[in-house]
Amino acid sequence: WTTRASLPWIAQEIYAAVLDGRIVTAGGLVQRRDGLHVEDRVAAYDPATDAWSELPRLPEARHHPMVVVAGGRLNIVGGYARTGAGDWVNTTTAWTLEDGGWVEAAGLPSPQAEAVGTGLGDRLHLITGRTPAGAANANWNEQDDTDRHLVRIDGRWETARPAPTARNSAAAAVLDGAIWVAGGRTVSGGGTGRLDRYDPAADRWDALAPIPRSYAQNNQVGGGLAMAEAGGRLVAFGGEWFARGGGGGVFAETWLYDPARDLWEAGPAMKTPRHGLAAASVDGAVYAIAGGSVVSGGAATGVVERLVRSA
């Protein structure tokens, strides 16, 4: 991993997508002394120049917003808003960047955040995450894990086969025409290394080899990790774990998955351990963007690192 130009702001709980060779990320949160701060900023990173440029701000600030490119268009879907009611208001909003500004797109049928979002052709997939458990929708503990799988087709949302398990804070990437969902966690069960592959043609999920436990921290890599595809492999890194009674840790490990062998192998560790970070790949290089450097909140960063696999 090598250090690249930092994100213009510090943040965690963000996602990224690639549009026209540039990596775009948006929103995020920072824990400050006066409370939670939620961002509305959007920026694009050009790997060729190692420089960030800011794009139009979101219509409303969001943390955990899905950033997805589908059909050549940049989309922001769902996420949490901060309002007078609470810091974790799960939303249904969706915006598309058009002609230099954000326009409202078809909103979700019901709120969904801490999900994974991917574009596959013209279709936008939103999978797992958290949804309100009941009428209340303002705080984190008012949300439940979900296995819901939505697909936006021609401007409308349809339901696809649910994920094999309900979980939040997983990561996803597209490889060989399939959607791969790795890691994540549940409130009751903690982190999982589970790897599931979705075949869109068959509307079918298959379970594959899970991400191994961390050798360095002797805990399961799972919640809050990031993942991208590069060179025909999945590259997963980061995440966090929680200890009973409080505390926990943040992972620096990188794991490389070979689909031909259904096998994970250890890769080089990131220079800065992080969770709630964004991932993207351009021209075979993988980028780890921002994220929190301590478990939960309190130490968001703007650190950007690049991983280029040797021949």
**Domain boundaries in the chain?**
2-308
Rounded percentage of the chain residues whose pLDDT exceeds 90: 90
Amino acid found at 179:
I
Residue 66: closest CA among 29, 109, 113, 18: 113
How confident is the model over 270-276, as a mean pLDDT?
Answer: 98
**CA 293 from chain center: how many Å?**
16
- HSE, side-chain direction, 13 A CA sphere, residue 242: 16
Residue 19: closest CA among 54, 71, 56: 71
Per-residue pLDDT at 190: 87
Per-residue pLDDT at 217: 84
Residue 289: closest CA among 65, 180, 301: 301
How confident is the model over 162-188, as a mean pLDDT?
Answer: 97
pLDDT, tens digit, 9 for 90 and up, residues 104-134? 999 999 999 999 999 999 999 999 999 999 9
Strand partners of residue 199 = 204
Residue 138 has pLDDT above 80, yes or no: yes
Whether residue 231 contacts residue 221, with contact meaning beta carbons closer than 8 Å, is answered with no
b or e along 84-117 (b: 16 or more beta carbons within 10 Å of the residue's beta carbon)? Answer: eebbbbbbebbbbbeeeebeebeebeebbbbbbb
- The rounded distance, in Å, linking the Cα atoms of 125 and 151 is 5
Cα–Cα separations (whole angstroms), residue 27 to 32, 33, 104, 220, 227: 16, 19, 17, 28, 19
Whether residue 127 contacts residue 116, with contact meaning beta carbons closer than 8 Å, is answered with yes
Residue 58: closest CA among 37, 44, 40: 40
> 3-state DSSP call for residue 142?
helix
Q: For domain 2-308, which architecture applies?
A: 6 Propeller (2.120)
How confident is the model over 262-275, as a mean pLDDT?
Answer: 98
Residue 90 sits at φ, ψ, to 5 deg, of -70, 135
Per-residue pLDDT at 278: 99
pLDDT, tens digit, 9 for 90 and up, residues 23-46? 999 999 998 888 889 999 999 999
How confident is the model over 250-277, as a mean pLDDT?
Answer: 98
Cα–Cα separations (whole angstroms), residue 4 to 62, 108, 164, 282: 25, 35, 37, 14
Residue 139 has pLDDT above 70, yes or no: yes
**CA 78 from chain center: how many Å?**
12
Give the CA diameter of the chain.
Answer: 54
- The rounded distance, in Å, linking the Cα atoms of 155 and 133 is 27
Cα–Cα separations (whole angstroms), residue 288 to 8, 86, 183, 275: 14, 30, 16, 10
User: Which strands form 2-4's sheet, in the order they lie side by side?
Assistant: 2-4, 300-308, 285-292, 278-282
Count of C-beta atoms within a 10 Å radius of residue 214 = 21
pLDDT, tens digit, 9 for 90 and up, residues 210-245? 999 998 888 999 999 999 999 999 999 999 999 887
Residue 232 sits at φ, ψ, to 5 deg, of 80, 10
pLDDT, tens digit, 9 for 90 and up, residues 291-308? 999 998 889 999 999 999
Residue 311 has pLDDT above 80, yes or no: no
- The rounded distance, in Å, linking the Cα atoms of 148 and 122 is 20
Q: What secondary structure letter does DSSP report for 134?
A: S
- The rounded distance, in Å, linking the Cα atoms of 117 and 271 is 27
